[in-house]
Structure 1
Amino acid sequence: DNILVYGHNMKDGTMFSDLLQYKRESFWQQHRIIQFDTLTAQAEYTVMAVFQGEAEDLFAYYQFANAETPQEFAAYVDACKGVALYETGVSAAYGDKLITLSTCDDSGKNSRVVVVAKRITEPR
């Protein structure tokens, strides 16, 4: 149900540093779609929620992979939306596929920025 990708935010601007720009709603408005490519497929995702915080203060988003019930899936979506920095108007329902991108942020000692998106195209 969820692909979780961790990437280190390098100070030289490489790797996941661009993910930090999603903290600004204006950036999200111009970059709502994320293309995720693997060796065998490509798919597009629309950003559902962006949140940040100290790792120990955030809910355990990093433990969600496969929901066993619709309620478990809805609880994850609700938790993401509940701590989101802004409203995207995007939600997800049981059966949807998600991607969660997580990186470190220099705004705190152990801060994270997390972007959660819902797949909108079938892998091709």
Structure 2
Amino acid sequence: MGKQRTNQPRRKKKKKGDLLLTLALIAAIAVFCFAAYNLFHIYTEYKKGTDEYNHIEQMAVTDRAPEDEELVDAVSEPKPPISVDFDTLKSVNPDVVGWIYIEALDNINYPVVQGDDNETYLHTTYENNYNFAGTIFVDYENSSDFSDCNTLIYGHNMKNGSMFGNLKKFTEDQSTYEKSKYFWILTPEKNYRYEIISAYTTGVNSDTYTLFKGPGEEYLNYLNTIQGYSEIKTEATELTVKDKIVTLSTCTGNEATRFVVQGKQVNAEPAG
């Protein structure tokens, strides 16, 4: 009987240890499953967004035929590399105001919208579906025809490089700028071509995001200032109060900062 009494506490300790081990294993499995679910959810969100914008591009965008380029001599204004069917785009979303195409970054080829505020399209796609990617959009305080001194355009920095995710390549590698310093914004009325004049990281409340009522000394000072902010070497471009610029803005992963690429409008031609 004495031996039986001394063995009982050992069995209890062993059972207690087994229980803790089992609970730890269950917890580890639960954490793994939760992480796997989150990764799967993120993957499906990215895929949905990418698939939707690929569909929109196929539906409304046509590459300009190579033979068309042969018809443009050195004196003619350059033509956009794509044409856009805005009637089709408007039938899907009447908030569309343009289409952005960055020559050095093939994957930045998207519709641009403008909402009644700067919140609507943060996580709403062009087809009005909820998605992390949202839609590239113009600041609601800007004119929709890109006629302002400084037009602000926002897009998410997606980890898969979609939306404005690859915009930062301009400062990561000088060769990106050297590949092409131009981007296009096509609208139903005109095709605008912009020359990149600056690319840099800035604060969320910096003067970069200043909107101007019209040209003047304040605006000219602003132009000279933002050229000085650039983290890449750009060609010396004289800026005047008559110039109109576009500021492309995306997040950096730091809530206090944003990455921007700014371009000066160098020519505009009637659409079509």
TM-score (norm 1): 0.84
Query: Does structure 2 conserve the Cα–Cα contact (< 8 Å) formed by 1:48 and 1:91?
Result: no
Amino acid at match of 1:10: M
SS at match of 1:120: strand
Deviations 1:66-118 (A, max 9, x none): 4441x112211122112110231223111111111111113x44321111111
Counterpart in the other structure of 1:21? 169
Query: Does structure 2 conserve the Cα–Cα contact (< 8 Å) formed by 1:50 and 1:86?
Result: yes
Q: Which runs of 4+ in 1 moved over 6 A?
A: none
Is it true that 1:11 corresponds to 2:159 in the alignment?
yes
> Given the superposition, is the C-alpha separation of residues 52 and 112 from structure 1 closer, same or farther in structure 2, using an over 3 Å criterion?
same
Q: Which of these residues, 195, 198, 209, is aligned with residue 46 of structure 1?
A: 195
Counterpart in the other structure of 1:77? 223
Counterpart in the other structure of 1:116? 262
Query: Does structure 2 conserve the Cα–Cα contact (< 8 Å) formed by 1:51 and 1:80?
Result: no
Cα separation, 2, equivalents of 1:64 and 1:91: 21
Cα separation, 2, equivalents of 1:76 and 1:100: 13
Query: Does structure 2 conserve the Cα–Cα contact (< 8 Å) formed by 1:45 and 1:121?
Result: yes
Which runs of no fewer than 5 residues in structure 2 stay unpaired? 1-148
Query: Does structure 1 conserve the Cα–Cα contact (< 8 Å) formed by 2:150 and 2:210?
Result: no
Counterpart in the other structure of 1:100? 247
Counterpart in the other structure of 1:61? 208
> Given the superposition, is the C-alpha separation of residues 80 and 110 from structure 1 closer, same or farther in structure 2, using an over 3 Å criterion?
same
Amino acid at match of 1:118: K
Determine which structure has greater relative contact order: mean sequence separation of CA pairs < 8 Å that are 6+ residues apart, divided by chain length: 1
Q: Aligned residues, how many?
A: 120
Query: Does structure 2 conserve the Cα–Cα contact (< 8 Å) formed by 1:47 and 1:90?
Result: no
Counterpart in the other structure of 1:34? 183
* Identity fraction in percent: 26
Q: CA RMSD in A?
A: 1.8
Query: Does structure 1 conserve the Cα–Cα contact (< 8 Å) formed by 2:249 and 2:259?
Result: yes
Amino acid at match of 1:13: G
Amino acid at match of 2:210: Q
TM-score (norm 2): 0.41
- How far the C-alpha of 1:38 sits from its partner, in A, is 2.4
Cα separation, 2, equivalents of 1:9 and 1:30: 21
Higher strand share: 1
Cα separation, 1, equivalents of 2:203 and 2:255: 7
